Every structure is written in structure tokens, then in C-alpha cells.
Amino acid sequence: MDLRARTKQATREAIGQAALRLAIERGPHGLALVRVHDIATAAGVSPRTYNNYFSSREEAICAFQADQSRRAGQALRSRPAGEPLDQAVTAAVIGLYTDPEPDKAGLRMIMMTPELEGEALKAFSMAEGPLAEAIAARTGTDLARDVYPAVMAAAVTGAVRVAGRHWLESGTTESFAAVLRRTLACVFSTAPPAASVPPAPPGARGDL
């Protein structure tokens, strides 16, 4: 990667970070108050340059999450070949989304702000394509004819989203990785939990 590409990447990340930071500062309610001019200034760049990279504030704010999702395919491919699909996917996803435990404020902003809903879904769903390819490769299925890989990929990204929501909304003390493990387990074991009271940590007060 030459200087050009590196600075370009840096600019993109700077704008994205600035956008997310400002959004968090102004709060989910004052999102409309985050002006393009502010983002650009905070990132040390002209407004015109800002929209050479992004065509909407929403896109800039969710850029980090989108970049993250783009790496999903590679994460799965880097798992050992013999590993069963469910274990490989679980390990890959957990590694990808919890390498540093995600920033709760940022995740909350992205996932819980109505105006960002579309972009957030887009950001997470960017993992689907690469994931589907990797799953197809791993299971020896044909992405063009079999629906299995794409369905699994969609289910997995759905599980990631649900894990995020649950981690944010329910006042759980679990790590994000633990919640992810639970949601992914749902995807890979069809049976509904016998009743309620599922993998809550033994001894924990279930009703809190």
C-alpha cells in the first residue's frame, strides 16, 4: 500500500471517527444538529472532501461498522479447515466483533437511533456477501444454485444484530462475546429453548 492509499484510508477513517464522535456528543436526539461542516472541520478536511468519501452523514457515522463487516469473510476463511461450520463461524464472528470489546456508546448510537436504522442495517448486512462465499467454500456448496450459504450468512448477521441489541438493551453484565455465543447458538441449533430461563449465568437473579 503506497502513501496515496494509506493517506486516503486515513482520511476516510478520520472522517468516520469524527462523524461518530460528534453524533455521540450531540446525542441520538440532536443527530440533525450534526452538520456536514462540523464533521469535515473535526476531521480536518473541507466539506467538499467529506462528500468525496461519503454521500450522507449516516454513511459516515456507520463507516466503521461497515468496514468491520467487510472483514467477515476473511475472518471465517482464516479458521482451520477441519473445524465444523458452527464452531468456525462462532469463533470468527466473536473474534471480529469483540477484538476490542465494542464501544457501547458508539454501538448504541448506531443501532438505536431511528434515523440511522437503514444505514446500520446496510453496514451489518455488508458481511453477508463475503460470509456467504466463505460458507459456500467451507461447505462445498454452490453459491449460485444453493440457497444454503446465503441463508446462513443472513442468519448469522441477524444474530450479530440481535446480540448487539440485547447487549445494549437488557441490562446484562455479560460480555458481548457471551451474548454473541448465545445468539449464534440459536442459529445453529434449531430447537427452541425448553422453556424460558436459558443460559443466564447460574445463580444470577433471572428477573433482573
Partner DNA sequence: GCACTGGTTGCGTGTCACGCATTTTGTGTG
Partner DNA sequence: CACACAAAATGCGTGACACGCAACCAGTGC
Question: Which of DNA, its own copies, none binds 3 (CB below 5-8 Å, type-dependent)?
Answer: DNA
DSSP 193: P
Report helix, strand or coil for 41: helix
Q: Does 174 participate in binding its own copies (rule CB under 8 A)?
A: no
Backbone region of residue 27 per phi and psi (left: phi > 0; alpha: psi in -120 to 50; beta: other values): left
- Collapsed DSSP state (helix, strand, coil) of residue 181: helix
161 interacts with DNA by CB under 7 A: no
CA distance 127 to 148: 16
The span from the CA of 146 to the CA of 29, in Å, is 44
In the list 27, 56, 101, 117, the residue contacting DNA (rule: CB under 7 A) is 56
Q: Contacting its own copies (CB under 8 A), which of 78, 118, 175, 201?
A: 118
CB hemisphere CA count around 53 (13 angstroms): 28
Angle at the Cα of 71 (from 65 to 75), degrees rounded to 5? 130
Binder to its own copies among 29, 82, 195, 205 (CB under 8 A)? 195
Helix axes 3-26, 63-70, angle to 10 degrees: 130
Residue 49 binding DNA, by CB under 7 A: yes
Q: Residues 14, 85, 112, 137: which binds its own copies (CB under 8 A)?
A: 85
- The answer to the question of residue 55 lying near DNA (CB under 7 A) is yes
150 binds, among its own copies, DNA, none (CB under 5 to 8 A by kind): its own copies
3-state secondary structure labels for all residues of 65-81: HHHHHHCHHHHHHCCCC
Nearest alpha carbon to residue 161 among 199, 131, 193, 123 = 123
**Could you say whether residue 162 binds DNA (CB under 7 A)?**
no
Verify binding: residue 9, DNA, rule CB under 7 A: no
How many residues lie near DNA (CB under 7 A)?
A: 22
Window 27-46: residues binding DNA (CB under 7 A):
34-37, 45-46
Residues of the shown chain interacting with DNA in the complex, contacts defined by CB under 7 A: 2-5, 7-8, 11, 34-37, 45-49, 51-53, 55-57
Residues of the shown chain interacting with its own copies in the complex, contacts defined by CB under 8 A: 58, 85-86, 117-119, 121-122, 125, 139-142, 144-148, 150-152, 154-155, 157-159, 161-163, 165-166, 170, 179, 182-183, 186-190, 192-193, 195-198, 200, 206
